[in-house]
Amino acid sequence: MSRIAYVNGRYQALAAACVNVEDRGYQFSDGVYEVCEVRGGRLIDERRHIDRLKRSLAELRIAMPMSEAALGVVLRETVRRNRVRWGIVYLQITRGIARRDHAFPPPGTPPSVVVTARNMDLANAERQSSEGVAVISVPDNRWERVDIKSVSLLPNVLAKQAAREQGAREAWFVDRQGRVTEGSSTNAWIVTREGRVVTRHADHAILRGITRTVVLDVIKAHGLTLEERAFTIEEAQAAREAFITAASQIVLPVVRIDGKPVGNGAPGLVATALRRDFHLHAEAT
């Protein structure tokens, strides 16, 4: 089945879909995006993703291109046309098409909207979660507003590639104080030897993951102790467990950090329980 993309009002074959060369997303990475899990054909935590999208747009002074209801229809229609049962839907909004000039285009320039959706390999995801994954650490060389879900992802791309080249699944960014901020496309967590769950506080130095927000609810429901604070790579290597979270992966246990095993080198009980119960706390619409 050929995939379908929504591009500025039209559903087209993905292979033929394109954007204007003067789209500001293409020229300046002047845009934002969201990725939502699709499960059983339904969108997971759509409301939270749209709320975060509106915040990212407002921070960059890009207009919401259509009503929330209309956006919801486009997301669902793209999922339907691609027959996605379990996978992701991707939404990107840029500041639109204009003659190349760094400053904003004239008021009223319509933002560009692209939506794609695809199935994911469920068996592979389950295998990864049962085996756990490796992460490496890299210096955090991103700008100071990574709380905005902008499509400017070059440091993230380079970090992920470095991870791949070292046989790891993810790269954890480490700030100038030697503390982990987050992964290149995930939030970072540890479980201390005392059983406390630790993740960095959500300031401008991390993206406030929607999965992170829901996992905080699962942690509460399980009566676990939470600490929202920074931690170092050394603390993570000495922890009982580590894991990463993102909409496309939910909760994924981390079993190696910079080549050192975490805990007994196998997925931990807390990460496994949080993954198992995640969808009891997420919203499906």
Q: Which residues are catalytic?
A: 149
> Rounded to the nearest whole angstrom, what is the least distance from the CB of residue 207 to ligand PLP in the complex?
4
> Rounded to the nearest whole angstrom, what is the least distance from the CB of residue 216 to ligand PLP in the complex?
11
In the bound state with ligand PLP, the residue whose beta carbon lies nearer, of 96 and 181, is 181
> Rounded to the nearest whole angstrom, what is the least distance from the CB of residue 264 to ligand PLP in the complex?
27
In the bound state with ligand PLP, the residue whose beta carbon lies nearer, of 97 and 135, is 135
> Rounded to the nearest whole angstrom, what is the least distance from the CB of residue 6 to ligand PLP in the complex?
20
> Rounded to the nearest whole angstrom, what is the least distance from the CB of residue 157 to ligand PLP in the complex?
11
Q: How far apart are CA 6 and CA 13, in angstroms?
A: 9
Q: How many of the other CB atoms lie within 10 Å of CB of 165? A: 9
Exactly one of 247, 254, 271, 282 binds ligand PLP (CB under 6 A); that residue is 247
Q: How far apart are CA 210 and CA 278, in angstroms?
A: 12
> Rounded to the nearest whole angstrom, what is the least distance from the CB of residue 85 to ligand PLP in the complex?
19
Which x/- pattern, by CB under 6 A, does the window 15-44 give for ligand PLP? Answer: --------------------x---------
Q: How far apart are CA 218 and CA 237, in angstroms?
A: 24
Number of residues binding to ligand PLP, judged by CB under 6 A: 13
* Angle made by CA atoms 66, 69, 73, in degrees to the nearest 5: 95
Instruction: End-to-end CA distance of the chain: give it in Å, rounded.
Output: 25
Which residue is listed with tokens 């969808």? Answer: 279
Which x/- pattern, by CB under 6 A, does the window 199-218 give for ligand PLP? Answer: --------x-xxxx------
In the bound state with ligand PLP, the residue whose beta carbon lies nearer, of 56 and 187, is 187
Q: Which residue is nearest to ligand PLP (CB)?
A: 209
Exactly one of 133, 246, 262, 274 binds ligand PLP (CB under 6 A); that residue is 246
Question: What six digits make up the tokens of 103?
Answer: 């400053």
- Tell me the residue ranges of DSSP E strands in 153-246: 170-174, 180-183, 187-191, 197-199, 226-228, 241-246
Distance of CA 20 to the CA centre of its chain: 26
In the bound state with ligand PLP, the residue whose beta carbon lies nearer, of 7 and 246, is 246
In the bound state with ligand PLP, the residue whose beta carbon lies nearer, of 193 and 220, is 220
Tell me if 44 sits within 8 A of 281, measured CB to CB.
Answer: no
In the window 175-194, what residues touch ligand PLP (CB under 6 A)?
Answer: 182, 185-187
Tell me if 72 sits within 8 A of 89, measured CB to CB.
Answer: no
Letter for the amino acid at 178? G
Q: Quick check: 159 binds ligand PLP (CB under 6 A)?
A: no
In the window 42-61, what residues touch ligand PLP (CB under 6 A)?
Answer: none
**Rg of the Cα trace of the chain?**
19
Letter for the amino acid at 277? D
Query: In terms of Cα–Cα distance, which of 96, 92, 89, 93 is closest to 116?
Result: 89
Interaction site with ligand PLP (CB under 6 A): 35, 182, 185-187, 207, 209-212, 245-247
